[in-house]
Amino acid sequence: MSERLIGILIDALPNIIIPGIKVTIPLTAISFTFALIIATIMAMVQYANVKGIKQFARFYIWIFRGTPLLVQLFVIFYGLPSLGIMIDPFPAAVLVFSLNEGAYASETMRAALESVPKGQIEAGYCTGLSYLQIMRRIVLPQALKTAFPPLSNSLISMVKDTSLAANITVVEMFMATQRIVARTYEPLALYIEVGLIYLIICTILTKVQAWGEKKIGSYES
């Protein structure tokens, strides 16, 4: 490894990490928060078997699970302007990532809700609780414990998926790296460098996931 290449990697590091802190992490956090809200609502609609609305939920899930994330990004950012709808790159990325992950997470939440014994719902009605109270106090807390591991995996996947936002001009870590590559002509080393940064972030999240699962296990015992 030449001194020039070492210098490029050292100089590139803050220029990659700063967009990661300012864009990649906020994009992941905001999108995943909205995705969880969407997923919970869609899962509860399906769990309650609300006619009409359930069909809408299934249609939404079918569309966003059945089409590529990159296509969804292009439709929202490059396609909607033809209809007069202009969305800035970052909000467009948040919208697409939220809707896409919400579709996947809703199936996780639906399965978690269905894993709660029906007898607990009946017991809740016997104590005078309303349906919403039963969901909030009895069903959802248990479902979230079940859904925690797969949802954590989805969060880790989303961190990596945010690199696709570079395709709609969001200046996150990957696009910052692409710009440095364009100036230095050192693609191999720089792409490995940004890959290692993604790896570190995902490793930290994996450790947090393991800690969270252990905490949940201790509460259950």
Neighbours of 202 (CB within 10 A): 15
Size of the chain, expressed as the number of residues it contains: 221
User: At residue 221, does pLDDT exceed 60?
Assistant: no
For residue 100, give the amino acid letter. N
pLDDT score for 4: 93
Q: What is the mean pLDDT of residues 10-15?
A: 96
**pLDDT tens by residue, 168-206:** 999 999 999 999 999 999 999 999 999 999 999 999 999
In the chain, the amino acid numbered 191 is: Y
Above 90 in pLDDT, residue 208? yes
pLDDT digits (tens, 9 = 90+) for 97-151: 999 999 999 999 999 999 988 888 888 888 888 878 888 888 888 898 899 999 9
**Region 3-28: what's the mean pLDDT?**
96
What are the pLDDT digits (tens) for 73-101? 999 999 999 999 999 999 999 999 999 99
pLDDT of residue 42: 94
Residue 219 pLDDT > 70: no
Report pLDDT for 216: 81
- CATH no. for 3-220: 1.10.3720.10
- CA–CA dist 106, 186 (Å, integer): 41
Q: Where are the domains of the chain?
A: 3-220
State pTM to two decimals. Answer: 0.91
